[in-house]
């Protein structure tokens, strides 16, 4: 209820709600801090990032995850070093959210962090890393994404296809075509869409 109220007020009267939300970050209750960060993320005010950043080290895992999500939505460049650190977290959920947040912020120094997470044991993190690499628009990302077309997770295979489209890697269309025979129907469907987009680039 408190989270819904914070979000509603943040959308309607952002200036009115910002100060109380920042103050709420200093509270003890995890639910209050999470609600406050959600509201600040809606505002997308870069000045709020400095207040949220310390919560990446909060004792509560859900608070840490909420801080990472909020920093990504705010697109706070000053959060990049901490997010790169959290991409190495022992908690899979934090690694995935850190990669997603970095994908929003797009700092050049995150490229190596994305590469490392392509081999992450968590499929959500691998998927996030594949999509993030595509969004770097770097030609040298292609060779790292190609092996993910054979990943055991369908979501990762689909993300790899989508990233190759984003990278305009038309020369790799033949590899995407192989997924037209994938055992997983949604993967076949996604591959079909991506393949058509790729051959139209040639």
Q: In this model, does residue 15 exceed pLDDT 70?
A: no
Q: pLDDT (tens digit, 9 = 90+) per residue, 47-75?
A: 899 999 999 999 999 999 999 999 999 99
Query: Mean pLDDT across the chain, nearest whole number?
Result: 93
Mean of pLDDT values over 147-163: 98
Q: Whole-model pTM?
A: 0.89
Q: Which residues contact 194 (CB under 8 A, 6 or more apart)?
A: 161, 162, 164, 165, 176
């979501």: which residue's tokens? 155
How does residue 6 score in pLDDT terms, banded at 50, 70 and 90? Answer: low
Domains in the chain with CATH codes: 1-76 (1.25.10.10), 108-201 (1.25.10.10)
Residue 44, pLDDT score: 86
């Amino acid at each position: 209820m408190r989270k819904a109220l914070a979000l509603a007020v943040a959308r309607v009267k952002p200036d009115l709600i910002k100060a109380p939300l920042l103050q709420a970050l200093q509270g003890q209750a995890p639910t209050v801090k999470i609600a406050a960060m959600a509201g600040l993320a809606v505002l997308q005010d870069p000045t709020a990032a400095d207040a949220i950043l310390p919560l990446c080290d909060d004792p509560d895992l859900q608070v840490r995850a909420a801080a990472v999500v909020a920093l990504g939505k705010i697109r706070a460049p000053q959060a990049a070093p901490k997010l790169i650190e959290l991409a190495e977290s022992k908690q899979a959920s934090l690694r995935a959210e850190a990669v997603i947040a970095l994908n929003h912020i797009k700092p050049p120094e995150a490229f190596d962090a994305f590469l490392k997470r392509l081999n992450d044991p968590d499929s959500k993190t691998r998927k996030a890393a594949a999509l993030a690499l595509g969004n770097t628009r770097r030609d040298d990302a292609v060779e790292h994404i190609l092996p993910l077309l054979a990943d055991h997770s369908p979501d990762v295979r689909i993300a790899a296809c989508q990233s190759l489209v984003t990278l305009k890697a038309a020369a790799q269309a033949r590899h995407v075509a192989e997924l037209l025979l994938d055992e997983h129907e949604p993967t076949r469907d996604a591959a079909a869409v991506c393949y058509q987009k790729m051959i139209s680039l040639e």
